Structure 1
């Protein structure tokens, strides 16, 4: 399902700091757009409000800064993704363990995939 342009605009208005230009949010990598779209879709389904999201994102950024993140803007969507993962675990959509399991499986799949080829997740990628 494509991202609703109005929903994207609402997000950029409601959440301060989203990298954007006159047309809306901007992304340096495809995964950033995907993380943004997932948050917009979960908001549309009522999982969280934008003020709740903004507060959770601000907390994540503060934690990262306390750990040494220079906050140059290049890590914004890493904080966005961490916030997404935290909120969906807190809301009971999934568990942190499941998120780690899938992250490890994707890492495993990426390691065996030649550069430039699509990464395909296979059952064996979940083997410990």
Structure 2
């Protein structure tokens, strides 16, 4: 019997379904480590999001709620308002469409409004 047979089912499956989920997770940990919020504040924000009536019963939208909780905390802490987040998301989307397949997406590639100007920092 090999050591792999002793591992629980699904052990070698990816933890995150999409790269953005891992990035949202990492941003949350980094912002906590910088002291922006406590774990209890984070737990309250995430709990409020996953308890929303539109949350999927099977939890497939968990990281969408994770991201919404992070955005709420950023706004509540005065780091980035909803309009800042929306503006940055739109810039990211435009940059993604302007980036050739297989190349890294950079906000500098945003061809749209505000291109080349300072972006809100997070």
Whether TM-score is above 0.5 comes out as: yes
Deviations 1:51-105 (A, max 9, x none): 1111111111122xx12x3232321111111111110111011221111110001
Inter-partner Cα distance in structure 2 for 1:61 and 1:70: 9
Shift of the alpha carbon at 1:106?
0.7
| Paired position in structure 1 for 2:95 | 109
| Paired position in structure 2 for 1:27 | 16
Number of equivalent positions:
104
With over 3 angstroms needed to count, the CA separation of the structure-2 counterparts of 1:93 and 1:116, relative to structure 1, is same
RMSD: 2.4
Which structure dedicates a bigger proportion of its chain to helix? 1
Q: Structure 2: any 5+ residue segments left out of the alignment? A: 1-9, 115-122
Is 2:94–2:110's contact at 8 Å kept on the other side of the alignment? no
Is 1:39–1:84's contact at 8 Å kept on the other side of the alignment? yes
Shift of the alpha carbon at 1:126?
4.4
| Paired position in structure 2 for 1:90 | 76
Inter-partner Cα distance in structure 1 for 2:22 and 2:98: 25
TM-score under structure 2 normalisation?
A: 0.72
With over 3 angstroms needed to count, the CA separation of the structure-2 counterparts of 1:94 and 1:126, relative to structure 1, is farther
With over 3 angstroms needed to count, the CA separation of the structure-2 counterparts of 1:126 and 1:93, relative to structure 1, is farther
Deviations 1:18-47 (A, max 9, x none): xxx87xx92122211111111111111111
TM-score under structure 1 normalisation?
A: 0.69
